Amino acid sequence: MKKTKIHICVSLIVIFTFLIVFSYNVLPKDCYPTPPNPELIVNGNFELGLYGFKTTYDTNYIKFPKNIKITTNPYNEYYTFDSCADPVTPNGKFLIVNGNDLFDGLHIVWEQEIEVLPNNFYKFQYMYANIDAKVDTNKNLPIIQVSFNDEFFDTVYVPKETCQWQTRSFIWYSGNNTKLTIRFRDLQLKYFGNDFALDEISLKSLCNVQACAGEDKEICAGDTVILGDVTNHSAIQGFKPYMFRWFPEEGLDSPFSPNPLAFPQRTTTYYLEVTDSLGCVAFDSVTVVVHLRPLALITPNKSLPICPCDSITLVATEGLKYLWSTGDTTSSITIKDEGYYKLRVESPFGCIDTTGIYISKYQVSTTLKFDTLYAMIGEIVTLPLKLVSETNHFICGYDSFKVVVSYNPSLLLPMNLKPTSSNGNIEKIEISGFSLKEILDSLVFFVTLGNDTSTNITLESFQWNCDKVNVQTINGKVLISNICKEGGNRLFELTNKLFLSEIPNPLTSDLTISFYAIERGRTQVKLVNNLGEIISIPFDKFVEPGFHYFRINKAQLSSSLYHLILETPTNRIVRSFIVID
């Protein structure tokens, strides 16, 4: 951003009153020393001869009154003049004057018009000397009068010592003037003597203090920045000590400090006023550009909390640089774990904002149960797998499950599902399915005379389609209620069963049935229809304990309900099934 520096010089001069004045000069932005204030008098050292000034004096014969000449040695121009030299420049030139013997106010030795700035202080000075070698004879010493814009400014009586250069120096306040006419006159009215020299006429602006507000700044909203040139304490040149004032004061910790801390809420231009001990004032400005911070915003793609096996995508504000606490630098991340996730965003300028979000998850739990019930041998029982209690289960909608159930195969023959494994004493069935109801599924068994009076229905394992669901199980039990207890329980060991559990119900194909006899004697298997009529007797033999087999031909059966009755010397078992053509 290009800036213009305004330099105002004010000098405080005590002449019965205090004057505080502002002068405006354009200075470069960089806080480097500026060149000395320029000389405003043209050819004030007369090295250019009779150039740059006006005079009413003659310039022909210096030996006559009211004549002037530019020389390096008055003696070379007229023998009554002393041999004087330039007070500053070796072999330099200066103005010599043969004074006027008539003062009418019209004759001017030297005159120059200069453009000046209003309300400014200037330093004016000149050098003069007596050049009349016969001053002891004529005693007519020059009287020099200086006027500014026709107002009396200075009168000097030139001493009699020749070639003794004297310096006069003043501070002049320009007021409202924009032009200044400086005139030198000779007030001595004598013909003899009255000879003098002028040199080094000078007029310069007095103030050169420079305010240094420093380079323009860019910050993020909420940050602070040091104003001013820190190296030079925001001011150079002029007369120390300085006084400082920054404005506007809003957003500054100290408006009178050379280097205040600024914390603007919006882009602001601050102006610096520096006043030196002479009263000179300089101004400079610096602009602090305030960049808005980005808004770190995380938007989840679903409401919270989430279910334990779900993932969630977190989306950040677009168009920025990103850094997540996971190390990702993309605008969005997908996470599965519960916890606090932080986000740091950065704007193109480098402004930063941070935020975070806690991802919580539902605590999901379920309790599954099989009932305990009493059943009679030959009865068909249904054991529902119940969801008896749940927490957040239906919210998350985990509807897919897998369960392994074990039982005593000598007591229960599965009718609707096929066993997946068996070791003789324990048989297992695996159930899988989809359900969001309180009854997940049911096991249907045919109760037989077996090797015990009851069997546990054990939930060996249960798993939803989310392994983070807390699962509790309550096992069931089937108790046989009609076992003959005379002489002790008469049990039936059936290790290789009718295998009805392996046949679809209805029966759709031929079936080979095996059974295991635990006693010697006549054993008969009858196939009876729904009316109680004997359709066939597939097995009728005197058997020894052990495995025995028979076959049912499905093609000989019409669509109906049938009962297969196994009769031993001491017990009777009934199995029912349906045949559909």
Structure tokens at 471: 């699962």
Residue 101 scores a pLDDT above 80: no
Q: Give the three-class secondary structure for 91.
A: coil
| Percentage with pLDDT > 90 across the chain | 53
Strand partners, 576: 563
57-100 pLDDT, tens digit per residue, is 999 889 888 899 999 999 999 998 999 999 999 999 999 999 87
C-alpha distances in Å from residue 84, one per residue of 68, 137, 164, 276:
16, 19, 8, 41
Domains of the chain: 5-33+208-291 (2.60.40.10), 67-205 (2.60.120.260), 298-359 (no CATH), 365-480 (2.60.40.680), 503-579 (2.60.40.2550)
C-alpha distances in Å from residue 556, one per residue of 191, 505, 559, 560, 561:
173, 17, 10, 12, 14
Contacts of 124 (CB under 8 A, 6+ apart): 169, 170, 171, 172, 182, 202, 203
Q: What angle do CA 476, 477, 483 make, to 5 degrees?
A: 170
At 488 the pLDDT is 43
Task: Choose among 252, 346, 265, 268: nearest CA to 1.
Answer: 268
C-alpha distances in Å from residue 220, one per residue of 267, 316, 346, 352, 540:
10, 20, 11, 8, 101
Residue type, 474: I
pTM of structure: 0.56
Task: Choose among 170, 215, 197: nearest CA to 28.
Answer: 215
Phi, psi of 188 (to 5 degrees): -80, 130
Distance CA 410, CA 406 (A): 12
Distance CA 198, CA 92 (A): 12
At 24 the pLDDT is 33
Residue 489 scores a pLDDT above 50: no
Interval 322-338 mean pLDDT: 94
Spatial contact of 66 and 120, defined as CB atoms under 8 Å apart: no
420 vs 147, higher pLDDT: 147
Interval 229-252 mean pLDDT: 91
Spatial contact of 309 and 467, defined as CB atoms under 8 Å apart: yes
Q: What angle do CA 241, 246, 248 make, to 5 degrees?
A: 165
Residue 242 scores a pLDDT above 50: yes
Distance CA 490, CA 39 (A): 139
Confidence of residue 225 (pLDDT cuts 50, 70, 90): very high
At 528 the pLDDT is 84
Confidence of residue 484 (pLDDT cuts 50, 70, 90): low
Residue 477 scores a pLDDT above 80: yes
Spatial contact of 126 and 168, defined as CB atoms under 8 Å apart: yes
333 vs 527, higher pLDDT: 333
Interval 475-489 mean pLDDT: 71
Confidence of residue 551 (pLDDT cuts 50, 70, 90): confident
At 20 the pLDDT is 29
Task: Choose among 522, 479, 502, 509: nearest CA to 579.
Answer: 509
Give buried/exposed letters for 188-203 (b at 16+ CB in 10 A, else e): bebebbbbbbbbbbbb
491 vs 242, higher pLDDT: 242
Burial class (CB in 10 A: 0-12, 13-18, 19+), 486: exposed
Distance CA 110, CA 147 (A): 11
470-474 vs 365-369, strand pairing mode: parallel
Chain mean pLDDT for the chain: 85
Cis amide bond preceding 305, omega within 30: yes
| Most confident option among 14-18, 26-30, 131-135 | 131-135
Residue 502 scores a pLDDT above 50: no
Confidence of residue 486 (pLDDT cuts 50, 70, 90): very low
